[in-house]
Amino acid sequence: MAQVIPFNDPAASLERDRRVFRLRLAGGSVRAIAEELGCSTDEVESALARSLGAVTPGMRQRAIQLELDRLDALQKAHYDKACGGDIDATAISLKIMELRAKMLGLMAPQRSDDVLGRALADKHESTTDRIRRALDLIVSGKEIDGEVVKEDG
């Protein structure tokens, strides 16, 4: 039996993509947009990808600035409460700060000089040996210049 391929009206698809993009710019989450438009989150993400392909560098910069402005407004709403000891506001403020740092490329790369990372990165050991060595490092807690000192016996 032949598979039926649904025909989507290109004009309707373009209009839905525009609605998705406008709703996203207005701050809607992918899930909320999908619910509002009666489609899947995958369809919303695809529509956003199609829309962003046509975005000029200037439009992209304005969208980034809009997101940063929103983060500033959210931070302003929660920062004083966080400084006053409100744990929930502190968690929200930290999350906002983390997102802003990621957007601006301010996140430091992961450290490569840690002992555990070196133990896991040794290419001459099997995966099982690397896991055992990493566990030994964690359990023993003993190290000299980054090398584990094992007691004899």
Tell me the per-residue pLDDT of 119-128, one tens digit each, with 9 for 90 and over: 555 556 666 7
Predicted local confidence at residue 57, as pLDDT: 80
Provide the 3-class DSSP secondary structure of residue 42: helix
Q: Where in the chain are the domains?
A: 9-54, 57-107, 115-143
Predicted pLDDT at 147: 55
Tokens (6 digits) for 149: 């000192």
pLDDT tens-digit readout, 33-83: 999 988 898 998 888 888 877 667 888 788 888 889 999 999 999 999 999
Pick the range with the lowest mean pLDDT from 45-59, 81-95, 139-153.
139-153
- Give the 3-state secondary structure of 58-92: HHHHHHHHHHHHHHHHHHHHHHHHHHCCCHHHHHH
- Partnered with residue 144 across adjacent β-strands are 147
pLDDT at 144 over 50: no
Crossing angle of helices 10-25/41-53, nearest 10°? 90
